[in-house]
Structure 1
Amino acid sequence: MKVLVAGGTGFIGTNLCEELAKRGHEVTALSRSPGDAGLPDGVESALGNVSAYDSIADTVVGHDAVVNLVSLSPLYKPPEGTSHEEVHLEGTANLVRAAEAAGVDRFLQLSALGADPDGETAYIRAKGKAEAVVRESALEWTIVRPSVVFGDGGEFVEFTKTLTTPYVTGLPGGGKTRFQPIWVGDLVPMLADALEGSEARSASEASEQGSRADDAHVGEIYELGGPQIATLADVTELVYAAEGKDVTIVPIPMELAKLGLSAIDSLPFVPFGPDQGRSLEFDNTVADNDVTAFGRDPTALRTLGSYLGLEGTRHRAKPAETA
């Protein structure tokens, strides 16, 4: 397939582009600044901003599939001059419109757990509205909702360090918010599978369909998480244990934390705002882990502790099925 990966120069994007290229696909990474992307060998780059339709419409032409990974982080306030609605909703609508006009076969949307047009945060609401645009399109779509993703180049570990301090740190609600972190090295092959489909085709079917994928995952929404559920307090302990440091968690009442974030929201050097406080009031875990739809055993996926070099040590994160 000829695959256009919007947001292909980001953390997940570069990994997905490499995976797709290894599988023999012709891959182009669409980005606002592709020049310094450091893309894998064999991956082309294209300049475009999904928030501006005219900058992407011509690039979409000629592709069999489009992957939308463009996203603002839910962990930090959006950069000045941008918004979740502009990037997630308007950006998705532009990509869908361009894909429909170009006759693209497949569309893969990376969404978020809890995506809901009526959700509690601007990020969750925009992701929910974007999903509706994709579902209502004429495209053969698949939507994937992962929990937080970790790995080299990811922001989850650094976010934890930014939010906390070693030895003694305060956490809203005592850090009881639960996550189900999934390693980028586990997630990306499943994204590629979702795009390709997984049902075997006969030689005649393959010849008839040419470069098109099968429809094994068309019209499906998958929620994906890692093998363990960890609270923010667990993650904080893991991150500092990897540096040989202990940490004591001091609970901060959630209402007080949200009040403080609202009070400092206007300060440009503060990366967190009221939305980040609200996001800590609901868990980021899956009810049923859909990694099984891609033939993966949830217990065999990589843990955050293993990634941090703590395999075999004691920590509070629990297997997802028992947490």
Structure 2
Amino acid sequence: MTIENILLIGGSGYVGRHLMNALARRNVRITVPTRRRERAKYLLTFPMVDVVEADIHDDATLARLAAGQDAVINLVGVLKGGNGKTDGRPWGRGFDRAHFHLAGRVAEAAQAAGAQRLLHMSALKADAGAPSAYLRSKAAGEAAVRDAFPAATIFRPSVIFGQGDSFLTVFAGLCAMAPMVPLACPAALFQPVWVEDVVNVMAECLDRSESAGQTYELCGPKIYTLIDLVDYAGKTAGSPGNIMPLGDIPSYLQAWLLEIVGGPMTRDNYWSMQVPSTCERGDCGELPFGRRATPLEIVGPTYLADGRRRAGFDDLRETAKR
């Protein structure tokens, strides 16, 4: 099985940028659709990448993009998609569009185009009975993918960290700026996995026929509470924060307030954190194909030490739309 052409949907996002590096070393042609080509112009530095403006939510456009592709990779995901129900389904409109409808349509397009492989990014603990709409919609997306493309390979990572992340870098910035950090759900459990480990596993899947039809959980070697992660991020960045852990009711109220003002947390995020984001096999760091997950303590200092400065640059870029 030779993979020469890849359609990478969601390629302009955080994981997509890192995956691009891993795929570029394989000398493959990559097509990355985006709503605004100008916003993804940094991808043009890759010699084998074709960035095209396209509406991936349009079936005819998806069919055109998938035609002639050996593999299709879908990385699209959103963290805030609304509460309540959409067309009778137990999740919000944003989740419905990104995690359910798009996932199924991408799989249908890949199958119709005769693609050899489909790789789909889901989330750890995705389940139809999960307390959060995010996890329920991710589970529905997985089912839609399996229905349309049974040989798809599905990835379920815990929270992903690394250079340019919006997780530990944000916490490091908060610890640097705020005299006190009121922290919701401080006991929430995570098993963070390095973005480079994630993308290298995904890239290797393209060479391994046995990965077709499999679902892989991707976790780091150690389980942390959220308060431990925030404390680590602040100290590693040189700005130990004064963290105030919130109880259950204050945590929910904080999430509700931040949701109202358009902040970084919603009530659905609160419900997601009620489910441990840890692998079933526990604290071991095993990844597919005999790989071992890289410890946070090895990678963290390489980018968190100047996390505040980098976060500031990212804010400026977002303001400038660059």
TM-score range, shorter chain: 0.7 to 0.9
Contact 2:118 2:152 in 1 (8 A): yes
Query: Which residue number corresponds to residue 319 of structure 1?
Result: none
- Is 1:125 aligned to 2:120, yes or no? no
Change (3 A) 1:291 1:3: farther
Change (3 A) 1:163 1:135: farther
* Distance (Å, rounded) in 1 between the aligned partners of 2:50 and 2:199: 19
- Structure 1 segments of 4 or more deviating over 4 A? 161-167
Map residues 79-228 of structure 1 onto 2, 5 A cutoff.
Answer: 83-161=94-172, 166=178, 168-173=180-185, 175-197=186-208, 215-228=209-222
Secondary structure of residue in 1 paired with 2:256: helix
* Distance (Å, rounded) in 2 between the aligned partners of 1:47 and 1:290: 39
Give the CA deviation at 1:147: 0.8
Q: Deviations over 1:115-141 (max 9, x none)?
A: 112221121111100000111224521
TM-score by length of 1: 0.80
- Is 1:23 aligned to 2:26, yes or no? yes
Query: Which residue number corresponds to residue 253 of structure 2?
Result: 259
Contact 1:183 1:304 in 2 (8 A): no
Change (3 A) 1:35 1:139: farther
Which of 118-127 and 50-59 deviates more? Answer: 50-59
Q: Deviations over 1:276-323 (max 9, x none)?
A: 12122221111226844222124xx14156323499xxxxxxxxxxxx
Secondary structure of residue in 2 paired with 1:246: coil
Query: Which residue number corresponds to residue 202 of structure 1?
Result: none
Contact 1:3 1:66 in 2 (8 A): yes
Contact 2:221 2:285 in 1 (8 A): no
Give the CA deviation at 1:13: 0.8
* Distance (Å, rounded) in 2 between the aligned partners of 1:42 and 1:246: 43
Contact 2:124 2:278 in 1 (8 A): yes
Give the CA deviation at 1:242: 2.1
Change (3 A) 1:225 1:172: same
The alignment covers a number of residue pairs equal to 286
Map residues 26-37 of structure 1 onto 2, 5 A cutoff.
Answer: 26-37=29-40
Query: Which residue number corresponds to residue 237 of structure 1?
Result: 231
Which of 302-311 and 14-23 deviates more? Answer: 302-311
* Distance (Å, rounded) in 1 between the aligned partners of 2:7 and 2:149: 18
Q: Deviations over 1:220-271 (max 9, x none)?
A: 111011122221111111111123222343221112221343355333x423
TM-score by length of 2: 0.81
Change (3 A) 1:304 1:140: same
Contact 2:81 2:94 in 1 (8 A): no
Query: Which residue number corresponds to residue 294 of structure 1?
Result: 289
Contact 1:77 1:276 in 2 (8 A): no
Contact 1:242 1:310 in 2 (8 A): no
Aligned with residue 301 of structure 2, among 303, 308, 318: 308
Aligned with residue 56 of structure 2, among 42, 50, 75: 50
Unaligned runs of 5+ in 2: 83-91, 305-322
* Distance (Å, rounded) in 1 between the aligned partners of 2:96 and 2:247: 30
* Distance (Å, rounded) in 1 between the aligned partners of 2:254 and 2:66: 44
Secondary structure of residue in 2 paired with 1:70: coil
* Distance (Å, rounded) in 2 between the aligned partners of 1:232 and 1:260: 16
Change (3 A) 1:176 1:56: same
Q: What one-letter code is carried by the residue in structure 2 that aligns with 1:135? A: R
Query: Which residue number corresponds to residue 64 of structure 1?
Result: 70
Change (3 A) 1:246 1:290: closer
- Structure with more helix by fraction: 2
Cα RMSD of the aligned pairs, angstroms, is: 2.5
- Is 1:12 aligned to 2:33, yes or no? no
* Distance (Å, rounded) in 2 between the aligned partners of 1:310 and 1:230: 19
Contact 2:122 2:154 in 1 (8 A): yes
Give the CA deviation at 1:49: 3.1
Change (3 A) 1:287 1:139: closer
Q: What one-letter code is carried by the residue in structure 2 that aligns with 1:31? A: T
* Distance (Å, rounded) in 2 between the aligned partners of 1:106 and 1:291: 24
Q: What one-letter code is carried by the residue in structure 2 that aligns with 1:62? A: G
Give the CA deviation at 1:163: 6.8
